[in-house]
Each structure stands twice: as structure tokens, then as C-alpha cells.
């Protein structure tokens, strides 16, 4: 039984036909593949040198893969079990017809079918290997997301959990000798005053901080976090280097102004525990 398990693990962890690395190196290699991929699925190669999407020319690097199980994909991509996907493989002659593997890919063409570019693949033939893949891909994606968030935390000047008490128009000091120029992309800067309930980095509970954010709905600011009175969350704040006016006021006294312009800058209140753990993690 021990020998049979070892064989299954070797099959599940072999990369591109190479010998299986140890568990730590296998997970590290998988995490690297996940970081580069946005469409991950288990599938079986049905044709080599062929395509299932007419927009793609067949070559010695194209294979048609039947989807056995979707592990990860963007919500906008229509991909289900049983679909045939055209894969532009990383190298010629790999893999062979009948090969089942987990394919790590990036989206390429979406038309009368789905075509993807391969980042890499892991061979796998058994239910044990399939179950292992599903679990480890989820774990690898979590590691990638945690690494991205940790890097973002390190760049932040302040990290707090708190509540938005007030939103007001920003009063920006004009640069000396330079008149303010209005364009259709103006941000219409607003200021949110946040009452700090838990200072995770660079702040203390009870403190108030001012965060600037765009009130404009212009396309230049699509996806930028917004704030509303009563909103609670975990906020990664950066010293304002965007508006040209690095300070503002609270109760008539000057204070630094911050921004939170990236999607990772505004998290849920529950994320404070995760953020605290990442701050402490070496």
C-alpha cells in the first residue's frame, strides 16, 4: 500500500514529465505557476496539432483538451466540464494524446470557443491526484494572494481598522504660481475622516486620520475604492503623493493626508485578523 501511494504522489507531482520534486519544492513550483495563471483546469488531451477555435491556426504547439474539472477561472469566462479548449503549449511535442493533466494557463482568445496559452502543467491520472490538485491549487492561490497583500502592507505608511465618521470635499492647496487646471478627468477629491478602532501599523486606537479618495465617476478612476459615512473596514493608507497637497486639517489643526487608491487598500473589518498575522509573519 505504501508503494502504491508513493507512485500516485509521484504522478501527481511530476512537472512536464520531469521527476517529482519533494513536497516543499513541488508546492513552491505550483505557487509560481498559479501566480502566472488565471485559468486553471484539469483536462485530457484529445488532439495534437489541432484546434477547437477557428481563429487559431493549428501548429505543432496547439492541442485540444477536454475539460474534466475547472479549478479556477475569471467569472466572465464561460468554461465548463466537457468543453474543448485549444491550448498553445509551452513547448512543442508536449503533451501526448490521452494525457490527463492540470493545465495552468492564461486567457488568449474568446470567440467561438476558448483558447489559452499554457504556463505549465502537472500530470495526473487518478482520483487521488485530482483531489490533491484541487486542494493544493486553492492553497497556492491563497499563498499568492497573501504574498501580494503582505507586499502592499509593507508599502503602506499606516494600517488601521476603523469606521468612517465623516466625508467632506477636499480643500487642496494649489501649487505656488500654478493655477488649478480643470479637465474631464479631475478626481473631485473627497476626504473621509476615519476613527481608528485598532492601529495595526503606524497608528493607535482613538486616533482620527484623513483619507482622500476620488468622488468622480470618470473612467480614469474606475475601480478606485470609495468611502461612505458608517463604513467599517481595514484600511491600508499611503501618504498622499497624488493630489499635490500632502496635508489637510482636523478641527483646525494640520494633519497628514493619506490615500487608499488600490483595491487591496480597502478590506473588510474581518480581514484585520489576517492583516495582523501577515504583519507579524517574518
Peptide bond into 95 cis (omega under 30): yes
Give Cα 217 distance to the centre of its chain.
24
| Residue whose C-alpha cell reads 479631475 in the numeric block | 186
Owning domain of residue 196: 156-176+185-280
How many residues are listed for the chain in this entry? 282
How confident is residue 250, by pLDDT bands cut at 50, 70 and 90?
A: very high
- The pTM of this model reads 0.57
Residue 34 and residue 113 in one domain: yes
Longest dimension (CA), the chain: 81
Lowest mean pLDDT among 20-29, 204-213, 252-261: 20-29
Residue 55 and residue 94 in one domain: yes
Residue 227 and residue 249 in one domain: yes
pLDDT computed for residue 15 by the predictor = 37
pLDDT computed for residue 189 by the predictor = 96
**What CATH number has the domain bearing residue 124?**
2.40.50.500
Residue 236 and residue 115 in one domain: no
Question: What are the cell numbers at 171?
Answer: 480643500
pLDDT computed for residue 151 by the predictor = 92
Q: Summarize the confidence of residues 183-197 as an average pLDDT.
A: 88
Domain for residue 90, yes or no? yes
pLDDT computed for residue 219 by the predictor = 85
Instruction: Write out pLDDT tens, residues 128-150.
Output: 455 666 677 777 777 778 888 99
pLDDT at position 101 over 70: yes
Q: How many domains does the chain have?
A: 2
Domain for residue 77, yes or no? yes
How confident is residue 183, by pLDDT bands cut at 50, 70 and 90?
A: low
Amino acid at each position: 500500500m505504501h508503494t502504491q501511494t508513493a507512485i500516485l504522489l509521484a504522478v501527481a507531482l511530476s512537472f512536464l514529465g520531469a521527476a517529482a520534486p519533494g513536497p516543499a519544492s513541488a508546492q513552491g513550483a505550483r505557487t509560481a505557476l498559479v501566480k502566472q495563471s488565471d485559468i486553471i483546469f484539469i483536462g485530457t488531451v484529445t488532439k495534437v496539432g489541432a484546434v477547437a477555435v477557428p481563429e487559431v491556426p493549428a501548429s505543432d504547439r496547439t492541442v485540444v483538451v477536454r475539460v474534466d474539472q475547472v479549478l479556477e477561472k475569471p467569472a466572465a469566462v464561460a468554461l465548463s466540464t466537457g468543453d474543448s479548449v485549444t491550448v498553445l503549449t509551452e513547448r512543442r511535442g508536449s503533451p501526448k494524446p490521452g494525457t490527463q493533466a492540470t493545465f495552468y494557463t492564461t486567457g488568449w482568445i474568446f470567440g467561438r470557443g476558448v483558447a489559452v496559452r499554457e504556463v505549465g502543467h502537472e500530470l495526473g491520472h487518478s482520483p487521488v491526484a485530482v483531489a490533491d490538485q484541487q486542494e493544493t491549487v486553492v492553497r497556492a492561490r491563497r499563498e499568492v494572494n497573501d504574498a501580494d497583500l503582505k507586499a502592499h502592507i509593507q508599502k503602506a505608511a499606516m494600517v488601521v481598522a476603523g469606521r468612517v465618521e465623516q466625508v467632506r470635499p477636499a480643500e487642496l492647496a494649489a501649487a505656488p504660481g500654478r493655477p488649478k487646471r480643470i479637465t474631464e478627468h479631475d478626481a473631485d477629491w473627497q476626504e473621509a475622516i476615519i476613527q481608528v478602532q485598532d492601529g495595526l501599523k503606524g497608528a493607535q486606537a482613538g486616533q482620527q486620520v484623513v483619507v482622500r479618495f476620488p468622488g468622480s465617476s470618470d473612467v480614469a478612476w474606475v475601480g478606485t475604492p470609495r468611502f461612505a459615512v458608517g463604513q467599517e473596514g481595514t484600511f491600508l493608507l499611503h501618504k498622499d503623493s497624488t493630489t499635490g497637497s500632502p496635508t489637510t486639517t482636523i478641527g483646525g489643526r494640520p494633519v497628514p493626508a493619506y490615500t487608499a487608491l488600490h483595491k487591496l487598500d480597502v478590506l473588510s473589518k474581518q480581514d484585520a485578523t489576517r492583516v495582523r498575522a501577515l504583519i507579524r509573519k517574518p
